[in-house]
Amino acid sequence: MFLSHSSLLLFVSTAAVLLAIPGPAVLYILGRSIAQGRIAGLISALGIGVGTLVHVAAAAVGLSALLVSSAAAFSMVKYLGAAYLIYLGVQKLRHEDSFDTSSEAGGTKLSHVFGQGIVVNILNPKTALFFFAFLPQFVDPGRGRISVQILFLGILFAVMGVLSDSMWALTSGIVVEWLRRDRRWMRSQRYISGGILISLGVGTALAGSVSKK
């Protein structure tokens, strides 16, 4: 196996916590669910997932080409990625997310909802930067082709994302009211997600690669 069990467990655990924290994609899905029903929310979640796969493919091609051209450059990208993860964590600690889930009235065709979900994720530059920063931290060039490792991790993240986003869509009504009322949870999730991003970045910078024991 090109990924150790400990690295795979760390990746799944970290991804699960990050996916559990509402972000722009979740707000889009909640808005669609409230405006057009749970089916529209589920369709939008699938669209977001397809958009994620586009970023994964781009990361796999780009990072593989970088490794072929220069192993030192690939290592530099990993360190820059670690720094970016720390930056994201600090920004998460500093700013509280806004959970305004208001949405335009329903009526958009489901095919358009699906397409809009893809576009929303593809055109989000932060998603691309996140994958270029996050996925390489779990890659070990000594365990096989970089592109295969990136694709495996990325597809796994996308599948987990669709499952997580689908839960948001199915429980949209309850979730929205809960998020609006529970300000303590809003603050705590910010600290949890920020702390995870900072820890992942610092751990990578100190150890060189979280995939090595």
Three-state DSSP string of 36-79: HCHHHHHHHHHHHHHHHHHHHHHHHHHHHHHHHHCHHHHHHHHH
Q: 61: closest CA among 129, 119, 132, 133?
A: 132
Q: Which amino acid is at 46?
A: L
Q: How many CB atoms lie within 10 A of CB 204?
A: 24
Rounded CA-CA distance 122/52 in Å is: 7
Is residue 111 packed enough to be buried (19+ CB in 10 Å), middle (13-18) or exposed (0-12)? exposed
Instruction: Note the pLDDT of residue 213.
Output: 38
Instruction: Note the pLDDT of residue 183.
Output: 62
CA Rg value for the chain: 18
Instruction: Note the pLDDT of residue 43.
Output: 93
Instruction: Note the pLDDT of residue 185.
Output: 60
Instruction: Note the pLDDT of residue 19.
Output: 83
Tell me which H or E stretch contains 6: helix 5-19
Instruction: Note the pLDDT of residue 131.
Output: 79
Instruction: Note the pLDDT of residue 146.
Output: 79
Rounded CA-CA distance 55/110 in Å is: 23
Q: Which amino acid is at 13?
A: S
Instruction: Note the pLDDT of residue 40.
Output: 87
In tens digits, the chain (213 residues) has pLDDT values of 566 777 788 889 888 888 887 776 777 787 788 777 889 889 999 999 998 898 888 888 877 666 556 667 666 767 776 787 788 778 777 776 555 555 454 556 888 889 888 887 887 666 777 777 788 778 777 777 878 888 899 999 999 999 999 998 888 767 666 665 666 665 666 677 677 678 767 876 675 543 443
